Amino acid sequence: MNNDLSTPSARPILRSTRKRDDLPKGLNRHRAGGYFIRYACAVGHIHEQRTGRSLEVATKKLGKCRADAENGWCPRREREQRRQTEAAERQAQAQDLTVRQLGVRWLKTHVEPNLRVRTAAQYRSVLERHVFPGFGDLPLRDVTRARLREFLTGLVGVTWGTKKNVMVPLAAMLSFAVDEDRLPANPAAGLFRQRRRARTEAEARTSDALTADELRLALAAVETHAPDLADFITLLSWSGLRLAEACGLQWGDFDAKGGFLNVRRSATYHAERLLVAAPKSGRTRRVDIPAELVGRLHRRQSLLEAEAAVAGRELGEWMFPALSDPSKPINGAVARKVWHRCLRRAGLRAVRLYDLRHTFASLLLASGAPVQYVSALLGHSSIAVTVDRYGHVRTGTHRGVVDALAQATGAEAHGEVSEAPPHLGSTSVFPRTAELERVPAI
């Protein structure tokens, strides 16, 4: 196979690079042994090609290449034409390829080897429940943006989030087809980029967090009705960890002296199989925890060490082992059932166990904690994620500003009230009525 190592040249150089050898011009010895030829084509490109260890074969090959070059032959142009022909043949073969066939191939060759098991299962479920029934038998050449819009419109009775979850793997699958030269462009690119306004109460809800009083009652109910999981649920409430991250904690991640946890992994169960992977963000992080939680974890470690010594074994690596098998971590599904049972017994509204993460973030932000710090504790990919999800929590922290607006522009502003609100100090952020009159109109 030709190896084109040069750039176009107006005057091709046909001399040997080894002057000490009595070889014809264009014929050179290769450093690994044998020979290689060097010649210029009709276009002006310099080409090099290994020919083996026979001088006779190399000489004949050089003569043939020079003769073909004089007739207008260019190896580089030939390779490019071959690539274009192969791409056209692949696209021609794709004329009969259906969306279902492409999806099966994409799942097998790209999704399952590269993505997490749960993610692969979710993508497969989306294709089998929505995409394949919708247009699985449609030839790939007929997949257009108009057809995709029609497909989205036909998804009746699903939320905006569900439609987004459908479009993410669908767009990735069509991008895979573009990479394989089965489509000239991705018809789903940018089709579902802009988020529309919510139309229902469920879509408008940002997060469902507990208040401080509700959290206090919930933790008390857990202490009473599920003491075995009290440390686990308290840790979720006071650290903001994802459920899988809390299940994946090991004693080596706990620093009692520093008062923090190192989040290095997540642990989940899928089809009764334990899956241990990196955290969702793909990066480890350090999470500060309160002193009371440090004490609880330290006492828990001492208790588990004593139980292990009585049983004649060493302390297991998992901070919260499964009740049935100490060699495995706790299953998050068990904690969810216990959590909902405790909420019912405490007479509290039903919220997910994952909402303890929202509660943690909301209470910290409401108390004035910096957004950057809360974002780092939660392990968000960027601070924009934290602001977008929890920005509404900080709306009451500067209520004095809106009070000042009412005082400056309300009915009392025309009376004798001229003092600034006590919580704003001696200077108000809004001008008085007299000052407003002095501002020129624009």
Band (pLDDT 50/70/90 cuts) for residue 202 is: low
Give kind and range of the element (H or E) at residue 285. Answer: strand 285-288
pLDDT at 289 over 80: yes
- Residue among 47, 83, 77 at smallest CA distance from 62: 47
* Range scoring the smallest mean pLDDT among 3-17, 169-183, 295-309: 3-17
What's the CA gap between 373 and 313, in Å, rounded?
40
Q: For residue 51, which amino acid is it?
A: T
* Cβ burial, residue 393 (10 Å; 0-12/13-18/19+): buried
Please list, in sequence order, all residues whose beta carbon lies within 8 angstroms of the beta carbon of residue 287, skipping any fewer than 6 positions away: 239, 240, 241, 260, 261, 262, 263, 377
What's the CA gap between 389 and 399, in Å, rounded?
20
Across the range 231-242, mean pLDDT stands at 95
Contact 402, 396 (CB under 8 A): no
Overall residue count recorded for the chain in this entry: 442
Q: Which residue has the higher pLDDT, 269 or 207?
A: 269
- pTM confidence score: 0.62
The residue written with tokens 């060699």 in the block is: 327
pLDDT of residue 7: 43
- Residues of the chain with pLDDT > 90: what percent? 42
* Range scoring the smallest mean pLDDT among 51-55, 155-159, 294-298, 420-424: 420-424
What's the CA gap between 58 and 208, in Å, rounded?
77
pLDDT at 231 over 70: yes
Measured CA to CA in angstroms, residue 46 lies from 49, 83, 203 at distances of 10, 20, 64
Q: Which residue has the higher pLDDT, 288 or 58?
A: 288
* Cβ burial, residue 303 (10 Å; 0-12/13-18/19+): exposed
pLDDT of residue 116: 84
Using alpha carbons only, how large is the chain's radius of gyration in Å? 34
Angle between helices 355-366 and 212-225 (to 10 degrees): 140
Tell me the pLDDT of the chain averaged across its residues: 81
Most distant CA pair in the chain: distance in Å?
111
* Helix, strand, or coil (residue 270): strand
Helix H segments across 110-184?
Answer: 112-114, 117-126, 132-135, 145-153, 160-179
- Residue among 48, 172, 164 at smallest CA distance from 106: 172
Across the range 378-407, mean pLDDT stands at 73
pLDDT of residue 127: 94
Band (pLDDT 50/70/90 cuts) for residue 368 is: confident
Domains of the chain: 1-92 (no CATH), 97-193 (1.10.150.130), 212-352 (1.10.443.10), 399-438 (no CATH)
CB hemisphere CA count around 239 (13 angstroms):
29
* Range scoring the smallest mean pLDDT among 49-58, 125-134, 240-249, 416-425: 416-425
pLDDT at 418 over 50: no
In this structure, the strands spanning 260-263 and 254-255 are antiparallel
Please give the full DSSP string across 291-338, using - where no structure is assigned. HHHHHHHHHHHHHHHHHHHHTTSPPPSBSSB-SS-TTSBPPHHHHHHH
Across the range 163-173, mean pLDDT stands at 92
What's the CA gap between 110 and 398, in Å, rounded?
50
pLDDT at 95 over 80: no
Contact 229, 335 (CB under 8 A): yes
Task: Name 266's bridge partners.
Answer: 277
Between CA 105 and CA 114, with CA 110 as vertex, the angle to 5 degrees is 150
